[in-house]
Structure 1
Amino acid sequence: MIRTPLRPLARILRARDRGENPDEIEAENRRLRHEAIQDKARRRAEGRLVLMSACFILAFATVGLRMGALASSEPSEPRAQVLSSQIISQRADITDRRGRVLATNLLTHSVYAHPHQMIDPVGAARGLAQIFPDLDEERLIRDFTGTRKFMWIKRKISPEQMQAVHDIGEPGLLFGPREMRIYPNGSIASHILGGSGFGQEGVSSAEVLGIAGVEKAFDNWLRDPSHDGAPLALSIDLTAQSAMEEVLASGMKVMNAKGAAGILLEIKTGEIVAMASLPDFDPNDRPRPLLKGDASDSPLFNRAVQGQYELGSTFKIFPIAQAMDLKLINPNTSINSTSPIKIGKYLIHDFHNYGKTLSVTDVIVKSSNVGTVRIAQMLGIERQKDFLKKLGLFEPTSIEMVEAPTGQPLVPSRWPAVTAATVSFGHGLAASPLHLAAAYATIGNHGRKVTPTLIHGRKRPEGEQILSPRAAELAIGMLRQVVTRGTARRADVEGYEVAGKTGTADKPRPSGGYYKNKVVATFASVFPASDPQYVLVVTLDEPSITNARGGESRTAGLTAVPVAAELVRRLAPLLGLKARTDEKLPTIAARFQPRVEPASGDGVRLVSNK
């Protein structure tokens, strides 16, 4: 902007020539300049007033419209928002196949202290010790009166405890919001879920991490915000899982067993409907792992997945099914069953003398060790090993749990003739009950391999055809006869066509050899036999029951089989399978009462012939 001078030289000179006063020119220019400044200021003020008026009109219009919208809307309860809401969304829920919650999150609080801000540190320590009896009052006093600037008191507290701490009235005791992982069903499916703990922690949040089971295996998936909080749907059914654990616990108690495991697997999909290991634990208060001693003594040990057991005569169906697949035998083929049979320097005996010959069907029905060895010798070592490997008995299962790799089967490093013989009837190769369930599911699936899974509804590639459908069908028929007239007659639950095989194996000593009075009793079954849909495996660790004659019975036919029968009665209706009869069922304990029966043929003795 060009400013006009108050005393322009040209006008001053002309005014002097005319005899006028030059000061009047300056006064006139000053007046004009002041008027221009006032006009500009007035226009600016008017503009500001117009803008302010427009803002007020817009604000009042917005408030009016919002009030109108609220007046015309349906009334609803207001929801408070908290700063830690983003923490809750960081870990997804876990549900069963029907959407019922197995693991979820809960907003709770932690309590921490700033000792330098405390007014009465001694009183605060005493008050905290009364609220939390596990805290050491003397130690709290030392910490509060020392040089510490910060310390955790409790990382998780209940609302009642929070109020009690608040009532102490100490400004140096502070609370922080955080997410807490809870398992509303307590110990149900505890080994599957595993548990969780805190990772990185702050006063206003804490990182929740999986530490075992599917919580650990799917830790990244559960924390991935891109899933928009969608839950992880497991294949298990909460009702079936609860029933299995209840029956197993009752059976374990009646049979005086050290532990128990049970697996219910859907054959066509490989999905695990229920899987339990006892004793169990509450993942809300997960115990500490054992630092010494036998790992199986800890409730954290998952017998179904991590247990490595010689599963005894349940293996006998494998060489028989393979030999039928290769057309080396048929169900009516006569097998030399003269006992004992000599393998190298060992003699292998049958539990009973079954005569000179047995049909292949009777070899499995009577559980003849000698007959099974004869059939395994027809196969040869390499074909036997190849078949067992295809069944998945040489590698850990691919189940979606961090414990799966620890369930590596104990496979002999050398495979001489005596090993091939003993493995054929379930000794010398140790695998988990889950391995056994998958192998039986493969037979039930018309010979096509089944891979077990804990995830519901995922499409999976079809498994390899390991057995011909005809051989698999014949094998199921033989297993059915084991139940109707063999060592597993107690498993013949009317209406459900159970087919299965018992197995009783002596437990190995850590120092070598086998215990004489400790066994692992197993019953592996498929039902219904006419249309196999489910596999059920029950394993009891060190069972022992007093029979009617006053002696002790440990065989699977008298221990694992009654427990499995009760499980079929309880689980089959839950699975939508209708029995052919509606007869009234007795109580669990009544079904487990022993009867005097001939000992089964599951046992084996290896006698040195030096």
Structure 2
Amino acid sequence: MRFPKSYLRGGTSKPGRQVGAAPAPSRLTAPPRNKNRFVIAIGLFFCVYAAIGGRLVQWGAAQTDNSFSIAAGDRIMASRPDLVDRNGEILATDIRTASLFAEPRRIVDADEASELLLTVLPDFDPKWLYRRLASKAGFVWLRRELTPGQQQAILDLGIPGIGFRTEQRRFYPGGSTAGFVTGHVNVDNQGIAGMEKYIDDQGYMALQDTGLAINTELEPVKLSIDLRVQHIVRDELAAAMKRYKAIAAGGVVLDVETGEVVAMTSLPDYDPNDPAQALDKDRMNRMSAGLYEMGSTFKTFTTAMALDSEKMNLNSTFDASRPIRMGGFTINDFHGKRRVLTLPEVFIYSSNIGSAKEAEAVGIAGHQEFLTRLGLLTRMQTELPEVAHPTQPKEWKLLNSVTISFGHGVSTTPLQTAVAAAALVNGGKLIPPTFLPRTKEEADAVATRVVSEKTSDDMRYLFRLNVADQRGSGNRAEVKGYQVGGKTGTAEKVINGRYVGNKRFNAFLSAFPMDKPRYVVLVVVDEPKPEEGQHYATAGMNAAPTVGAIIRRCAALLKVRPKFDPEGKALLVSY
């Protein structure tokens, strides 16, 4: 409705106005307002903002823990300390890599996006990929740890809603060379095996969870491993497996003065850059996580027990002319001499009969106590998580003690066997093994005396005699100038609860140089076959020469100088 202009002006009428006309209003009266609509609008605004405020209060009061998602996001960017060998060579380090993710809510056409991604990553399951891209989620991982080429190819596709996140990836330059020692990490860069897991358990995981390990330069963790010696051990074991057609092999080099593990490996091994290989049941760490009856290498401990008991000495004799019959079993020698043997002859001829009589003389309780003292019946304490618990009879009877004396009836790990042997040649002190650097002073602080120095001297003599004497079972391990000593072990394997005669687990337990031992070297060969032209596949034919090859190559690297003085000069023992 339009009003005349006169109604829009205030004031009185103009002069000359006619008499009788209606007087003009003094001011304009405003049109009536719809108060009900105004109240409704105000009410609606109030309701909307009240709802928003209520939701904000509700969300603020809710006790939600976002720390996990934050920590999970931070963890993939967390730095891990490098692992280096004793000489500073890198065993494990971090590299940056890209991972592919999607934000499905931003993807315009999930079908088209999945088809494009399949052109770069054809190993994707098309149905799985489409479901991920068509979901209602705000964020989904598609592929972790892409190569730079794959990342660039996906960037060139220009798909909205597809992005990358930079992560830390663990890289092992040596591949499988030291895989069982370093262990490996999972896709979130968390240690799940070997020394990687040990580092996490020592407090690194807490640094990850608190975000203190993000983009942080952490001090490298030095291991006791010598990468050069590690390579030699692995190389010689691989050659032995091929030469003797064995199904597996393992080896360890141990410093007898400090307990440091200088090298340790087991074949078949795995590449920690491809952790899925570790799931193969044949790729296990046989040296610390495998349990075996160690066969005649256990005669080393039986003889040491006999000497340390002072009931016998190097002049003692044992009648090995006839087999021993006990509990329905017959105990015989592999190549019996059928005569009285001296204690050194029992050792070098590896007589089961003589070893059984040594154990009988000491007694059941003394036998069990001695092996426990050497750490052969309890779980070994070291940094590596993969350590098996030895097995023994629930009740020791005379027959158990007799069979254990020559290596049947007790299962232990090869690494424990090497550690116990080190105590017999280093002067009589048991030193827990370590995969971290340790000084001699630190080792002395944790060492425990388990045999006398005289017993240790006698065992060094017997070790050397078994290699230097052509009658000894370990003569094929001889390396001129390094005075190698040791003991062979050939054990029939137990399959389905029964001993199988044609399947053997062979070992050679050695030390060098025997005038002043520095290193124990143990090699095991699983199910070897006779070498071409040979009739036997005993430990003296395969494990012993493999030890000799390892010592020949690594002795100089370990700074052990050869001596070409008259043989045995420093090992003469009066008996």
Q: Please name the residue that 1:531 is paired with.
A: 516
**Aligned amino acid, residue 291 of structure 2:** Q
Could you tell me how far 1:232 is from its partner in structure 2? 1.3
Q: CA deviation at 1:457?
A: 3.0
The partner residue of 1:391 within 344, 364, 374 is 374
* 1:565 match: secondary structure: helix
CA distance in 2, matches of 1:471, 1:164: 70
Distance 1:253 1:416, change over 3 A: same
Count how many residue pairs are aligned between Structure 1 and Structure 2. 479
* 1:352 matches 2:338: no
Contact 2:320–2:339 (Cα < 8 Å) also in 1: yes
TM-score under structure 2 length normalisation = 0.80
Q: Please say if residues 467 and 476 of structure 2, whose CA atoms lie closer than 8 Å, have aligned partners that are also in contact.
A: yes
1:403, distance to aligned residue in structure 2 (A) = 1.1
CA distance in 2, matches of 1:543, 1:353: 23
- 3-state SS in 1 of match to 2:544: helix
Partner of 1:514: 499
Instruction: Show the 5 A alignment for 1:320-399.
Output: 320-399=303-382
Matched, 1:104 2:93: yes
Q: 1:240 to 1:546 in 2, by over 3 A?
A: closer
AA partner of residue 251 (structure 2): G
8 Å Cα contact 1:92/1:104 also seen in 2: yes
**2:194 paired with 1:209:** no
Q: Report if the CA contact (8 A) 1:235-1:454 is conserved.
A: yes
Give the Cα–Cα distance (whole angstroms) in 1 for the partners of residues 460 and 116 of structure 2: 68
Q: Report the more deviating stretch, 217-226 or 513-522.
A: 217-226
Aligned position for 1:42: none
Does structure 1 residue 543 correspond to structure 2 residue 528? yes
Structure 2 unaligned regions, length at least 5: 1-72, 565-575
Indicate which of 484, 493, 510 corresponds to 2:468: 484
State the identity as a percent.
37
Secondary structure of the residue that 1:524 maps to in structure 2?
strand
Native 8 Å contact 2:236 2:546 kept in 1: yes
- Residue identity opposite 1:521 in structure 2: N
Q: What secondary structure, in the 3-state scheme, does the structure 1 residue paired with 2:180 have?
A: helix
**Aligned pairs for 1:285-304 within 5 A:** 285-287=274-276, 297-299=281-283, 301-304=284-287
Distance 2:532 2:125 in 1: 53
CA distance in 2, matches of 1:184, 1:157: 18
C-alpha distance 116-169 of structure 1, shift in aligned 2 (>3 A): same
Deviation at 1:288, TM superposition (A): 5.9
- Following TM superposition, by how much is the alpha carbon of 1:90 offset from its aligned partner in structure 2, in angstroms? 3.9
Q: What is the TM-score normalised by the length of structure 1?
A: 0.75
Q: Structure 2 matches for 1:148-297, cutoff 5 A? A: 148-199=137-188, 208-220=189-201, 221-223=203-205, 224=207, 229-287=218-276, 297=281
- Structure-1 residue corresponding to 2:391: 410
Where does residue 481 of structure 2 map in the other structure?
495
**Secondary structure class of the residue paired with 2:379:** coil
Residues 336 and 351 in structure 2, CA contact (< 8 A), matched pair in contact too: no
What's the counterpart of residue 416 of structure 2?
Answer: 435
Question: Could you tell me which of 452, 458, 478 is aligned with 1:468?
Answer: 452
Per-residue deviation, 1:231 = 1.5
Secondary structure of the structure 2 residue equivalent to 1:532: coil
The partner residue of 2:430 within 449, 454, 460 is 449
Stretches of structure 1 that go unaligned for 5 or more consecutive residues are 1-83, 200-207, 582-610
DSSP 3-state at the match of 2:190: strand
- The letter for the 1-side match of 2:555 is A
| Number of the residue aligned with 1:576 | 559
1:336: Cα distance to partner?
1.4
Q: Secondary structure at the match of 2:177?
A: coil
Give CA-to-partner distance per residue, 1:320-350, whole Å, 9 cap, x none: 2122222222212222112201233322101
CA distance in 1, matches of 2:307, 2:417: 20
Q: Measure, in 2, the Cα distance between the counterparts of 1:457 and 1:381.
A: 36
Contact 1:254 1:545 (C-alpha < 8 Å) held by counterparts: no
Root mean square deviation, CA, Å: 2.1
Please give the per-residue CA displacement for 1:37-75, whole angstroms capped at 9, x wherever unaligned.
xxxxxxxxxxxxxxxxxxxxxxxxxxxxxxxxxxxxxxx
Q: 1:564 to 1:401 in 2, by over 3 A?
A: same
Contact 1:124 1:168 in 2 (8 A): no
Q: Distance in 1 between matches of 2:410 and 2:225?
A: 29
Residues in 2 aligned to 1:453 and 1:441: alpha-carbon distance in whole angstroms: 13
- Higher mean Cα deviation, 142-151 or 301-310? 142-151
Shift of the 429–169 alpha-carbon distance from structure 1 to 2, 3 Å rule, reads same
Give CA-to-partner distance per residue, 1:79-119, whole Å, 9 cap, x none. xxxxx999766421111111211111112221111233224
Deviates more, 1:521-530 or 1:461-470: 461-470
Measure the CA separation in 1 of the matches of 2:232 and 2:132. 49
Supply the distance in 2 between the matched residues of 1:146 and 1:219 (Cα, whole angstroms): 35
Question: Structure 1: how far apart are the matches of 2:225 and 2:90?
Answer: 12
Please give the alpha-carbon distance, in whole angstroms, between the structure 1 residues aligned to 2:511 and 2:473.
Answer: 15
Q: Contact (CA 8 Å) 1:96, 1:234: kept in 2 or not?
A: yes
Counterpart amino acid of residue 114 in structure 2: A
Question: Which whole-Å CA distance do the structure 2 matches of 1:476 and 1:467 have between them?
Answer: 13
**Counterpart of 1:470 in structure 2: which amino acid?**
K
Structure 2 partner of 1:598? none
1:47-196 maps to which residues of 2 (within 5 A)?
90-196=79-185
Give the C-alpha shift of residue 544 in structure 1. 0.9
Q: Which amino acid aligns with 2:479?
A: V
Within-5 A mapping of 1:20-35? none
1-side partners of 2:164 and 2:137: how far apart?
18
Secondary structure in 1 matching 2:449: coil
Q: CA deviation at 1:151?
A: 2.1
